[in-house]
Amino acid sequence: MISIIQAKEEHIPILIPLMDEYRIFYRQNSDETEVRNFLEARIKNKESIIFIAYFEDSPAGFTQLYTSFSTVSLKPVFILNDLYVYKRYRKKGIGEILLKSAKEYCRLQGYKGLALETELDNPAQKLYERLGWEKDTGCFHYFWKSN
């Protein structure tokens, strides 16, 4: 059975290994101390919404949303910045339920929608498209790196 909760401060110890593995997946060094500091700041300052998925009462994955704004539509939007499921829990529908939970939360909050970006070879693209995300082919995505 899969269940989803919205993370609060007391869930930080559960999130630390999840987020640390997520970062390792994206070729970052393990650093549970910095992950803890990052999560504490996001949750304490109400800077993100984090959903945790449980599979049979064990933490199995998470997704994290940040708020941004659309000047053109004059509405807030969520950036679905992170989605991760432990490897041993993949192919069980957990990512799909996390994405659906994020979409429902977005609707309930009255936000315009959810934006996400992913690596070109990420196999989750098929899941995103099946759940209604559309690949933006009308513009380029740029990023300036400060260091």
DSSP-assigned beta bridge partners for residue 53: 4, 61
Domains, the chain: 2-130 (3.40.630.30)
- Residue 46's pLDDT is what? 95
How much is the average pLDDT of 82-96?
Answer: 96
| 125 pLDDT higher than 90 | no
- Residue 1's pLDDT is what? 92
- Residue 126's pLDDT is what? 85
Average pLDDT of every residue of the chain: 94
- Residue 135's pLDDT is what? 87
| 137 pLDDT higher than 90 | no
| 124 pLDDT higher than 90 | no
Is the pTM here over 0.85, yes or no?
A: yes
- Assign 143 a pLDDT band (cuts: 50, 70, 90): confident
30 contacts 23 by C-beta, under 8 angstroms: yes
**Three-class DSSP category at 146:** coil
Cα–Cα distance list, 69 to 22, 66, 113 (Å): 26, 10, 10
How much is the average pLDDT of 118-132?
Answer: 85
43 contacts 9 by C-beta, under 8 angstroms: yes
pLDDT tens per residue, range 31-77: 999 999 999 999 999 999 999 999 999 999 999 999 999 999 999 99
Distance CA 22, CA 115 (A): 19
Residues ≥6 apart with Cβ < 8 Å to 76: 67, 68, 69, 70, 109, 111, 112
Distance CA 11, CA 50 (A): 10
Distance CA 76, CA 67 (A): 7
| 123 pLDDT higher than 90 | no
Distance CA 59, CA 71 (A): 37
Residue 112 DSSP one-character state: S
Distance CA 78, CA 70 (A): 10
